[in-house]
Structure 1
Amino acid sequence: MAEPDQAAFWDERYATGEYLFGTAPNAFLAREVHGLAPGSKVLAIADGEGRNSVFLAQHGHRVVATDVSARALDKARALAKRRGVEVEYWQVNLAEWEWPAEAFDAVVGIFRQFAGPGLREDIFDGIHRSLKRGGLLLLEGYREEQLAFQTGGPPSICGDDIGHHQHNC
């Protein structure tokens, strides 16, 4: 189960009736989906309201998606139902999750800005553990230069704006 403060923070962020980041897939993922073998088993980590997991399922992949927020997962399930696809949704806190060993052909991680350096290291270890040999990682994140634009991403180099997992900062 998710750490209460993280879950509460994200539940509040996703409280709106609208989809916070829309329902269209991330542009990077849409460009790169062709790299996945047909019918791949894909893990979408911290997938939020489901725009990316639903997109992957629409492309014929078997998708497991995680998020810490129950509210986000409810919205993701509703989106999957509206689009007529099946996605397996799991509520997990990535800081505490026991990543399954060699379970996925691909792992998708879009914008990991919530994770400070210590948690990022744990996530990368978990991704490595979960990917099958020869698996594909599709990862998009912010570079340090994004801070100057102030258009999204973390407010500092140390990670999230709620003060968690900011080891070494």
Structure 2
Amino acid sequence: MSPPDWNARYSAPEFAYGTEANSFLKQHADLLLDPVLSIAEGEGRNAVYLASKGLRVHAVDNSSVGLAKAAKLAADRNVVITTEVADLQNFAPEPNVYGGVVSIYAHLPSSIRAQLHPLLTQTMKPGGILILEAYSENQRGRGTGGPGDPDLLLTCGKVERELVGLETILLQETERDVLEGKFHTGLASVIQYIGKKVSIG
């Protein structure tokens, strides 16, 4: 299966993954410090939720169509977010900027993660929190969401190897019902991670 054309997917009037924030993120959002970087943000559901909690949120995605919908969703809910259209393969945030980083279903090839994940650690301030949820390799074949290529899926081991410099608060593979629009619906195997930056880097 070829990867989605994200501008095409987000061009439909409805929101591909709904307008409500990811439930794992909502459960732990109070851990995040200001400001927050949200990667692979898509149509804005998570960024808008975090902005509604008073956080300054910078939303990054490679789809200009998705981020345009994100900006409209923010306006409709009377909050402000900033957006940036960027290919995560080339995205290089400044060091020591963010108190929180959010990665929700950012299914990237391992070659891109190898470049990006160290940069996400570096862009966090000491004490900053990273919250991640993604489909696990055991999600393959379920038909409830996510890519079919195992290189795009995570395991606990991949997270431990790739997110160096963070103290693990939570790392688990679990099954849960994911109900996020028509593309993420049903019982799913996911990796959930929360890490804290403990040193300057």
TM-score (norm 2): 0.72
**Cα shift at 1:56:** 0.2
Indicate the residue corresponding to 1:59 in structure 2. 53
Indicate the residue corresponding to 1:11 in structure 2. 7
Distance 1:129 1:94 in 2: 15
Runs of 4 or more, structure 1, over 6 Å off, are: none
Which of 72, 87, 98 pairs up with 1:93? 87
Indicate the residue corresponding to 2:20 in structure 1. 24
The structure where helix makes up a greater share of residues is 1
Which of 68, 76, 94 pairs up with 1:82? 76
**Cα shift at 1:158:** 2.1
The structure where strand makes up a greater share of residues is 2
Aligned length: 151
Indicate the residue corresponding to 2:31 in structure 1. 35
Q: State yes or no: 1:73 paired with 2:67.
A: yes
Distance 2:143 2:96 in 1: 38
Indicate the residue corresponding to 2:199 in structure 1. none
Q: State yes or no: 1:128 paired with 2:121.
A: yes
**Cα shift at 1:98:** 2.0
**Cα shift at 1:150:** 2.4
Identity of aligned residues (%): 35
Stretches of structure 1 that go unaligned for 5 or more consecutive residues are: 1-5, 161-169
Query: Secondary structure of 1:158's partner?
Result: helix
Distance change in 2, residues 1:124/1:11 (3 Å): same
Q: State yes or no: 1:118 paired with 2:111.
A: yes
- Higher mean C-alpha deviation, range 151-160 or range 79-88: 151-160
Distance 2:29 2:87 in 1: 26
Amino acid in the other structure paired with 2:81: V
Distance 2:68 2:106 in 1: 21
Stretches of structure 2 that go unaligned for 5 or more consecutive residues are: 154-201
